[in-house]
Amino acid sequence: MAGVSGPESAPDPRPAAAPPSFEELFLPLVDNAFRLALSLVRNASEAEDLVQEAALAAYRSFASFTPGTNFKAWFYRILINRHYYRYRRERGRPVAVELEEAPELYLFNRTAELGLHRGDGDPAELLMRKMTSDHVRRAIASLPRDFRIPVGLFFLEELSYEAIATVVGCPVGTVRSRLHRGRRMLQKALWKIAEETGIVRQLTPEEAPA
Amino acid sequence: MSATDLLTCEETFRRLDLYLDRALSHEEKRQVEAHLETCAACAAEYRFESTWLEEVRSKLQRIEATPTLRERIAASLAGVADAPRE
């Protein structure tokens, strides 16, 4: 998990190394920052814009980052704030969001209904191998924003509840609840995509090849 | 292991999300895994959820940042570095 340090070592007799530069800390995050941005905005071009803006904002305020603390959490907070800022006007319009809560073990039960638990294959793999990265991206992007962000951060960076709470600025208990409910909603969203794209039909026993 | 160490299926199931989050204590994790060793039904549920999670993660990791993004970022950071400090 983020922030875990290695074993203690003897004090280094050399002069203390300079703290890592912004580029050293930030460049390893570019891909995941883009992936998270992609789940927040409408397309790759907007995702690129968002990451670039966030990188610039972070660079400009790098003096406020305390070396040795969680850079990922610090940067993602900036990225999410930039996202909120850009879409502030859209936030003003009340949107009736149908919070479609999903029960637990949603995909487990759907795949069991298809008979996928009976054979030798792993039912989760049997379903997921037919789904693409774009299906997954779309499913996450379809979640309400409050759930999209903890879910996105969990899958991309494996951040702890505390780190995610720092990023989104809400209590740890809220993060935990949204992450768990969000994962269930994600399963339901993925199933909907699997139905719409014919994947469920392909997996249905009478359609399966002999 | 004493009887108080053994989890029921319901107790095991309630810990599933925390298990997937790696948020269980060492002891709770041991108790869950002890139950899974003896209960095929719970083990199937845990295995499914863990596999699903890894599949989602690996598909997300396959999405690549657009090739121009790093160049754009490098260019804008260089622009800030050259500009007078705000």
Per-residue pLDDT tens digits for B5-51: 689 999 999 999 999 999 999 999 999 999 999 999 999 999 999 99
pLDDT of residue A9: 59
pLDDT of residue A98: 55
Yes or no, beta carbons of B47 and A122 under 8 Å apart: yes
Q: How far is B78 from chain A (nearest CA, A)?
A: 10
pLDDT tens-digit map of A89-136? 555 544 445 556 789 999 999 999 999 999 889 999 999 999 999 999
pLDDT tens-digit map of A46-92? 999 999 999 999 999 999 999 999 999 999 999 999 998 877 655 55
Yes or no, beta carbons of A48 and B69 under 8 Å apart: yes
Selected for mutation to probe chain B from A27, A35, A185 (highest B CB count within 10 Å) is A35
Tell me the pTM: 0.84
Closest residue to B60, CB basis, from A51, A136, A180 = A136
Yes or no, beta carbons of A161 and B21 under 8 Å apart: yes
The residue behind tokens 């003096």 is A63
Q: Binning pLDDT at 50, 70 and 90, where does residue A6 land?
A: very low
DSSP string, B21-39: TT-S-HHHHHHHHHHHHH-
The half-sphere exposure of B11 on its side-chain side, counting CA atoms within 13 A, is: 13
A156 or A94, which is more confident? A156
- Alpha carbons A70 and A166: distance in angstroms, whole number: 10
pLDDT of residue A1: 44
Tell whether the model's pLDDT for residue A7 goes beyond 80. Answer: no
pLDDT of residue A191: 96
Report the complex ipTM. Answer: 0.87
Q: How far is A92 from chain B (nearest CA, A)?
A: 30
Yes or no, beta carbons of A35 and B63 under 8 Å apart: yes
Closest Cα partner for B20 from B49, B55, B43, B48?
B49
- Run of H or E residues at A210: none
Tell whether the model's pLDDT for residue A209 goes beyond 80. Answer: no
Cα-trace Rg, chain B: 23
Per-residue CA distances from B24 to A6, A169, A188, B27 (Å): 21, 23, 26, 8
What is the mean predicted confidence (pLDDT) over A143-156? 91
Tell whether the model's pLDDT for residue B83 goes beyond 90. Answer: no
Residues from chain B contacting residue A2 (CB–CB below 8 Å): none
| Greatest Cα pair distance in chain B | 70
